[in-house]
Amino acid sequence: MKVLLRNPRREQYVTGPKSVNALLDALELPREAHLVIRNGTLVPGDAALADDDVVEIRPVISGGC
Amino acid sequence: MVAPASKCRVCKEPAIIDLPRHNANFCAEHFLELCRRQVVKAIEKFDMLSKDDRVLVAVSGGKDSLAVWDILVELGYQADGLYIGLGIGEYSDVSGEYAKSFADERGLRLITIDLRSEYGYDIPTAAKATRRVPCSACGTSKRHLFDKAALDGGYTVLVTGHNLDDEAAVLFGNTLRWDVEYLSRQLPVLPARNGFPKKVKPLIRLTEREMAAWCIVRGIDYLVDECPMAVGNKHLAYKAALNAIEQQSSGAKASFYLNFLDNMAPLLAERSAAATDELGTCTSCGAPTTSDLCAFCRTAEKARAHEPVPVELVLSKGRRRR
C-alpha cells in the first residue's frame, strides 16, 4: 500500500494486508502519537488495510509551547 | 489474516477510532459526543465559562485552538478568535491562512495582530537578541498580547487550546525539577486579577490524538506541520516519554494530570494566591510584573534593537547546538 507520512512529507510502500496497528508498529511509530486516514476517513487500530489502499499517517503531537 | 474492524461501543456501527484509555471504540457521531461531553465536564467542574461570557480564543491555526473554538461555538458560547503573526517565515504565513479560512467559512470574528508590523520585531529575531530558546521568546510575546487583547477588547475570558498532553508534559517537566512555584500555578483556570484576564483551558480532558481526530471528523483544515522552531524542544521529549508510558498503561497521562488537579493542586493553592498578590506594574506598558519592565517589554526592547534575523539562521544555529 502507498503510505503518506508527514513531518517531513514523504511516501513509502508497505506490503499489505495489514492492520492499522501492525502498520504503525512496522514503521516504529507510536500509536498514541498518530492517526491513520484511509480515503479521507479515520480508521481504528484493528482496521484491515489492503495492499492497494492509499493511507495517510498523521502525527498528532505539537510543540505546545 | 486481519481481524474484522471494531464496532462503536454505543451504537455498534463500524468504529473510526479506538481509544484505549476508555477501553472503547467509537463511530464518528459518538466520538464527537464523547469530546463534547469531556469539554462540558471540564467547564462545569472548574467553573470555566458561562453563556454570558464574552470569550476570546487564542488561535494558532493548529488543531487544538481551532477545535476548541469549534466546540465552544457549537456549545453556544459567544467566542471570537485572536491570531498573532509571529514572523516565523512560511510557517506563520500558512498558519495564519488556516486561522482566517476557519473564521471566514463559519462567519466568526478573528482579530489579528502582526508582531513585526505592530511591535517591530519577530520571534526569530527575539530569540537571537535575547539569546534564549525561540519557544521562550514566543511564549513571553504571546502571553502578553493575549492578555492585552482580552482586556482591551472587553472579553471576560481568554481560552487557550492546551490539551491533556500539553498539561501532562508541563506537569512532568515541573515535577522533574520539583518547581513548586510553577506547579502551584499549573491550573486549568486562572482567575482575573492584578491586570490579568481570566484564562481557561477547556481541552484538559482530551488528548492530542482526540483533538486531531475531532478536526478530521469535523472537516477542519489545520496546520499539521510542526513549528520549525519547536523541533527538539524539551516539551516534545516529555510528550514522547509520557506516550511510551501510555502505550504500556492506558490512561496513565490522564491519571497523572487529572489526579494532580484533584489531589495536589489544592495543597498548593495558598502559594499560588500569594505569588499573584506580589506583582507591581510595568513602567513602560502598565502590565503586571515582578520587576520595573515586564518580560514582554524587555524582550521587545532587545529584539527591536537587533537587525531582523531570518528564521533559517536561528534554525541552523539550533541544529548545530544539538
CATH of the domain at A50: 3.10.20.30
Segment B170-176 shows an average pLDDT of 97
Structural domain harbouring A30:
2-59
CA distance B209 to B197: 29
- The reply to whether B290 touches chain A by the CB within 8 Å rule is no
Grid cell digits, residue B238: 516529555
> Of B57, B74, B21, whose CA–CA distance to B214 is shortest?
B74
Contacts of A47 in chain B (CB under 8 A): 5-6
Does residue B322 surpass a pLDDT of 70? Answer: no
Is A33 a residue whose pLDDT tops 60?
A: yes
| Structural domain total, chain A | 1
B213/A35 Cβ within 8 A: yes
In a domain, A31, yes or no: yes
Chain A contact present for B76, CB below 8 A: no
- Predicted confidence at residue B305, as pLDDT, reads 94
Q: Do A64 and B166 touch (CB under 8 A)?
A: yes
Distance of alpha carbon B219 from the chain centroid: 21
**Phi and psi at residue B10, to the nearest 5°:** -85, -50
Query: Are residues B216 and A59, on separate chains, in Cβ contact within 8 Å?
Result: no
Question: Considering the domain boundaries, does residue A65 fall inside one?
Answer: no
Higher pLDDT, A53 or A61: A53
Nearest to A32 among B25, B139, B246 (CB): B246
Segment B108-133 shows an average pLDDT of 94
User: Does A33 reside within a domain?
Assistant: yes
Residue-wise pLDDT for B77-96, tens only, equals 999 999 999 999 999 999 99
pLDDT of residue B319: 45
Q: Please determine, for residue B281, whether its predicted confidence score (pLDDT) is greater than 70.
A: yes
Contacts of B166 in chain A (CB under 8 A): 64
Q: Which segment of A61-65, B94-98, B129-133 scores lowest on mean pLDDT?
A: A61-65
Residue B320 pLDDT > 60: no
In a domain, A19, yes or no: yes
Residue-wise pLDDT tens digits, B8-60: 999 999 999 999 999 999 999 999 999 999 999 999 999 999 999 999 999 99
Chain B residue closest in CA terms to A45: B18
Which chain B residues are closer than 8 Å to A37 by Cβ? 216
Quick one: average pLDDT of B173-195? 93
**Residue A47 counted as domain residue:** yes
Mean pLDDT rounded to a whole number for chain A: 92
Nearest to B257 by CA among B240, B242, B274, B272: B242
Domain membership of residue A26 (yes or no) is yes
Give the pTM. Answer: 0.94
What is the predicted pLDDT for the residue at B115?
Answer: 96
The DSSP secondary structure of B218-255, one letter per residue, reads HT-----SPPTTTTT-HHHHHHHHHHHHHHHSTTHHHH
B 5-64 near A (Cβ less than 8 A): 5-6, 15-18, 20, 25, 28, 62-64
Reported as a pLDDT band with limits 50, 70 and 90, residue B274 is low
Name chain B contacts of A63, Cβ cutoff 8 Å. 135, 226-227, 230-231, 233, 235-236
Domains of chain B: 39-321 (3.40.50.620)
Contact B83, B60 (CB under 8 A): yes
State the pLDDT at residue B195: 85
At B23 the pLDDT is: 95
Helices (H), B107-195: 115-119, 123-130, 134-152, 164-176, 180-185
Burial of B139 (C-beta count, 10 Å sphere; 0-12/13-18/19+): middle
Across the interface, do A6 and B224 touch by the CB < 8 Å criterion? yes
A55 band by pLDDT with thresholds 50, 70 and 90? very high
What confidence tier does B315 reach under pLDDT thresholds 50, 70, 90?
Answer: low
Please give the average per-residue pLDDT across B122-130, as a whole number: 93
pLDDT of B318 reads 45
Quick one: pLDDT at residue B1? 47
B191-226 pLDDT tens trace: 998 789 999 999 999 999 999 999 999 999 999 988
pLDDT for residue B227: 86
Domain-embedded: residue A14: yes
Instruction: Inspect the interface and report whether the beta carbons of B226 and A62 lie closer than 8 Å.
Output: yes
- Residue B225: list chain A partners with CB under 8 A: 6-7
* Residue B293 scores a pLDDT above 90: yes
A-contacting residues of B 243-282, CB under 8 Å?
243-244, 246-247
**What percentage of residues in chain A have a pLDDT greater than 90?**
83
